């Protein structure tokens, strides 16, 4: 019957469109590298992967941001070649025989709304705020306004580092908002006068104000010389010494053009300046 054939035609057309479009772009891959891990490092890994693939056609680097723990687990199990992590290895993870390559430095800034007069906090005050032992800005020299806590999701390396450095492993307040991304934290703090959160220094923009910790304001200089207390190292883990495509890719990430462009662009500090 004429009409029924038209329906089949329509559906077949849809698939054909998808198939042909596919051929024009993705070519067959010779060498494949999988890089999984921290959502914080995801931007760096993806951007450098794109640059590397552009420079070395025929290689395919698949990057996934599933969280530091997942990254460490999958590289130790071999389901991915490089595991990226924005936190140090947990004691039991040290036994997995992973080789650490440090690729960048991340300083975590405590941010408040620009209208909030508070400019500095001690480490203890910051901890007390995020554990909800302090609930009103007036208790730290601000207006009489309830504190709106903004936390990151449990998979976030930034949250993990903040918890270790500032809270010394104690629990975050459980009534805090849990947001899945840096940008959301920044947006919420920008729009809510009483909000407080923490993001990588690189992402601080005019919409928020970074607070000094123990009287040290977070700047490239204070992070580079190690005086700013809340900072962490970003790691690429490999099973044994990196070799082949993995080594080539890691060296590429450590190269100056990538460090200056990609790492800085992602809001982090190039590794070569600080630890040389």
Least Å distance between CB 203 and other proteins? 7
Contacts of 91 (CB under 8 A, 6+ apart): none
| Residue keyed to tokens 């007036």 | 138
Least Å distance between CB 130 and other proteins? 13
| 209-210 vs 98-112, strand pairing mode | antiparallel
| Nearer Cβ to other proteins (23/243) | 23
Alpha carbon 73 to chain centroid, angstroms: 17
| Nearer Cβ to other proteins (193/229) | 193
Structural element, H or E, at residue 109: strand 98-112
Q: Which stretch binds other proteins (CB under 8 A): 5-13, 94-102, 132-140, 238-246?
A: 5-13
The C-alpha atoms of residue 127 and residue 166 are separated, in whole angstroms, by 6
Using rule CB under 8 A, residue 1 touches other proteins: yes
Query: 38 by DSSP, 3-state: which?
Result: coil
Using rule CB under 8 A, residue 9 touches other proteins: no
Per-residue x/- track, 75-114, other proteins (CB under 8 A): ----------------------------------------
Burial of 66 (0-12, 13-18, 19+ CB in 10 A): middle
Size of residue set near other proteins by CB under 8 A: 59
- Picking from 247, 255, 201, the residue whose alpha carbon sits closest to that of residue 51 is 255
| 212-213 vs 209-210, strand pairing mode | unpaired
Per-residue x/- track, 251-270, other proteins (CB under 8 A): -----------x--xx----
Chain positions 168 to 187 lying near other proteins, rule: CB under 8 A, are: 174-187
| Nearer Cβ to other proteins (27/226) | 27
The maximal CA–CA distance of the chain, rounded, in angstroms, is 81
> Which chain residues interact with other proteins by CB under 8 A?
1, 3-4, 7, 10-11, 14-15, 17-19, 21-23, 25-26, 43-44, 46-47, 50, 62-67, 69-70, 73, 146, 148, 150, 153-155, 174-188, 191-192, 194-195, 203, 262, 265-266
């Amino acid at each position: 019957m004429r009409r029924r054939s038209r329906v089949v035609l329509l559906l077949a057309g849809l698939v054909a469109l998808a198939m042909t479009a596919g051929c024009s772009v993705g070519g067959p891959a010779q060498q494949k590298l999988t890089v999984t891990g921290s959502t914080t490092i995801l931007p760096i890994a993806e951007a450098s992967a794109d640059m590397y693939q552009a420079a070395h056609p025929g290689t395919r680097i698949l990057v996934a941001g599933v969280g530091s723990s997942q990254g460490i687990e999958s590289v130790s199990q071999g389901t991915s070649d490089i595991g990226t992590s924005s936190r140090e290895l947990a004691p039991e993870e040290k036994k997995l025989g992973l080789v650490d390559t440090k690729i960048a430095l991340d300083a975590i800034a405590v941010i408040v709304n620009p209208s909030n007069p508070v400019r500095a906090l001690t480490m203890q005050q910051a901890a007390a705020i995020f554990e909800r032992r302090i609930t009103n800005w007036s208790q730290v020299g601000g207006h009489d306004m309830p504190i709106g806590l903004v936390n990151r999701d449990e998979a976030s390396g930034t949250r993990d580092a903040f918890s270790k450095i500032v809270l010394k492993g104690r629990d975050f307040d459980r009534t805090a908002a849990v947001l899945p991304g840096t940008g959301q934290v920044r947006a919420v703090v920008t729009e809510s006068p009483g909000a407080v959160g923490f993001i990588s220094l690189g992402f601080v923009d005019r919409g928020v104000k970074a607070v000094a910790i123990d009287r040290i304001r977070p700047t490239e200089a204070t992070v580079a010389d190690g005086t700013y207390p809340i900072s962490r190292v970003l790691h690429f883990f490999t099973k044994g010494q990196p070799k082949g495509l993995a080594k080539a890719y890691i060296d590429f990430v450590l190269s100056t053009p990538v460090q200056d462009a990609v790492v800085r662009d992602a809001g982090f500090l190039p590794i070569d300046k600080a630890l040389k």
